[in-house]
Structure 1
Amino acid sequence: MFSRAVNIHFPEQQQMFTLLSIDCDNAPNSCRLALKHCQPFFQPGERVNFHRSGIDIGDDKRIDLSRCTRWQPDALYLNPQRIQEIDWQTVAQIIQASVKHSSSLFYFRSDNIFYQEMSRLLQLHRAKLILALQEGNCSAIENEMTALLGLGVGLTPSGDDYLAGLSAVLFIDGHPAQHYRSLFISVLARRKNKTTLLSVITLREAIEQRFRESIHEFLYHVINGEQKPIQQFINEIKKIGSSSGCDMLCGMADAFAMTRPDGGNHVNQDCD
């Protein structure tokens, strides 16, 4: 339960539906409400019923969906020509400069020994996962994904957010690393008990190319070669959660760097 978002849990489907305040951007499995703050209106444990025209919550609330507008973003797509034309390395460097002094646990710089060790492990498994993807080593990819899942703190730990950011780029239709998608899905399904339900859903959606509007707009502008406004989209992504947006950006930066078509990577290899 947050002031700007309320998660509705469906145990049978192992799924969540989110009610968002008007200040939030659009997101999968969500509904934006004409409210600044959700906290005064919704309480944990209230019964929820979905109808064709709306949602009933508790005994005194009904959300009318009859006048809602459905958010349907354009599908992202890459072709070989665009992969050659996009300056992936520059975009990666812009992101890295933006997150290096942010709230990301990947770049923790205080004297808390617990968080220092967590940051060290995040960077270690991050580097090993990148190498495994470059070499097409499926066994190593699974090991490093497993190590990153649940690594961090909060409802969506940093390791999971990093994997979500990585997936958002690597599994764009037409990306040379897209064939790893089934492996990511398989590992997540088998190792989901390592992390939170919200984190599993967020990562699963990212693998399926469903993510927040701010992330979609950022990727859309990069793919279409429009670099001028991307800093403003990076700034919007950084606002997601306490550190989730920054951790996702770390994953996106690594994915962009691996997409360089100059022979410096091997993300198009099949697994050994």
Structure 2
Amino acid sequence: MTNKSNQKAAYACNAISGDLEFLRLLGKGSFQGIIHSSFERTFNVTCLENGELYTIAARHLDNGPNTLITDLDSCSTLELAVGDRIFVSNNCIKIENKFNISIRQTEPWQCLLPVYPADTALLKRNIFEAKLFIQEHGQAGGMKKSITTDNIIQTEFARMLEERSRSLLEQLSLARWESAVQQAVSLIGLGPGLTPSGDDYLTGLFTVFNMPDSPLWPYRSFCMDVVLHASKLTNQISCITMKKAAAGQVREKIVQFMQAVIHSTSEETKDRLAAVLSIGSSSGTDIALGLIHGLELHLN
């Protein structure tokens, strides 16, 4: 007979907030998945129904698409393993017998990008200040070229990223959509990092395409045309990030910066930009440059 007092109880926590669509999916009670990957502050789950990745995050991260924010301080102590099975029962996410997450009082979050302004004077000023801020505080090594490096591979990545992104922007400015798709696809998977720099740059660019009432809004199908190629060229985590951005779904920090650059003071814009730059190693800088270059396309 098994001694129940010796059985290890499942660790429990609460979900604080979560992506609205993710919560609706969980609310059906039929969600099933497996652990895809685990990190210090997050772990990712593959949904067995639709194949998409979903993220469970510690309290210090911001909201995002397909993401649930918990009251955990860290995910590294949970002893999760790739392939662990996940299901939902009684408003609770259960991971094997290791870990339970209550979703009973989770606050829903929805990504809503700001509407492009009719008067762009403030936007122009804030973009100018944002570019200077990135030059001073952005992380080099991806889209931002490192001035002092002896790393041949890093130098070559920087050259390719600069050439291909410049060509992409040129084709977009001329409305040569077929060629622009080809140039964008050439950026996928290019550069260092778990989410390569080219992918992060496109995430920022796709965000700007999805601003309602913007000059590029009628052409946002361009983003999905590019993403169709992503699964064969980059990893699954980066792929789902670009796919969501192509549909106008991005992290809360990015939304807050977009709102600030349109409506707020220079100082508020810099504060929100600093939060974007804090994403990953060079990922935040790569995303920010995609946002800025996209906004400049609007203005031009």
For normalisation by structure 1, the TM-score amounts to 0.88
Structure 1 counterpart of 2:235, from 196, 199, 204: 196
Aligned-residue offset at 1:148 = 0.4
Q: How does 1:175-214 map onto structure 2 within 5 Å?
A: 175-214=214-253
Deviations along 1:88-135, one digit per CA (max 9) or x if unpaired, are 3x3333333233352341213311001100100000011101101100
* Equivalent position of 1:268 in the other structure: none
Structure 1 counterpart of 2:194, from 155, 167, 171: 155
Q: Identity percentage over the alignment?
A: 26
Do residues 86 (structure 1) and 122 (structure 2) align?
Answer: yes
Aligned-residue offset at 1:191 = 4.2
Secondary structure, in 3 states, of the residue corresponding to 2:207? helix
Which whole-Å CA distance do the structure 1 matches of 2:233 and 2:90 have between them? 36
Which whole-Å CA distance do the structure 2 matches of 1:216 and 1:67 have between them? 24
Q: How does 1:124-143 map onto structure 2 within 5 Å?
A: 124-143=163-182
* Equivalent position of 2:86 in the other structure: 48
Q: How does 1:214-233 map onto structure 2 within 5 Å?
A: 214-233=253-272
Which whole-Å CA distance do the structure 2 matches of 1:248 and 1:48 have between them? 32
For normalisation by structure 2, the TM-score amounts to 0.80
Secondary structure, in 3 states, of the residue corresponding to 1:228? helix
Structure 2, unaligned stretches of length 5 or more? 1-37
Q: Name which of structure 1's ranges 228-237 and 8-17 shifts more when overlaid on structure 2.
A: 8-17
- Report the residue type matching 2:132 in the other structure: A
Do residues 145 (structure 1) and 145 (structure 2) align?
Answer: no
Query: Considering only aligned residues, what root-mean-square deviation do their CA atoms show, in Å?
Result: 1.8
* Larger proportion of strand: 2
Which whole-Å CA distance do the structure 2 matches of 1:194 and 1:14 have between them? 17
CA distance 1:196–1:20, change in 2 (3 Å): same
Secondary structure, in 3 states, of the residue corresponding to 2:108? coil
Higher relative contact order (CA 8 A, sep 6+): 1
Do residues 258 (structure 1) and 297 (structure 2) align?
Answer: yes
Structure 1, unaligned stretches of length 5 or more? 266-272
Which whole-Å CA distance do the structure 2 matches of 1:103 and 1:51 have between them? 45
CA distance 1:52–1:104, change in 2 (3 Å): farther
Aligned-residue offset at 1:179 = 2.5
* Equivalent position of 1:112 in the other structure: 151
- Report the residue type matching 1:35 in the other structure: L
Which whole-Å CA distance do the structure 2 matches of 1:224 and 1:51 have between them? 43
Which whole-Å CA distance do the structure 2 matches of 1:238 and 1:151 have between them? 19
Which whole-Å CA distance do the structure 2 matches of 1:173 and 1:52 have between them? 38
Which whole-Å CA distance do the structure 2 matches of 1:99 and 1:28 have between them? 25
Aligned-residue offset at 1:241 = 1.1
Which whole-Å CA distance do the structure 1 matches of 2:49 and 2:151 have between them? 40
Secondary structure, in 3 states, of the residue corresponding to 1:35? coil
* Equivalent position of 1:269 in the other structure: none
CA distance 1:254–1:5, change in 2 (3 Å): same
**Higher Rg:** 2
Do residues 15 (structure 1) and 52 (structure 2) align?
Answer: yes
Which whole-Å CA distance do the structure 2 matches of 1:161 and 1:73 have between them? 18
* Equivalent position of 2:35 in the other structure: none
- Report the residue type matching 1:112 in the other structure: N
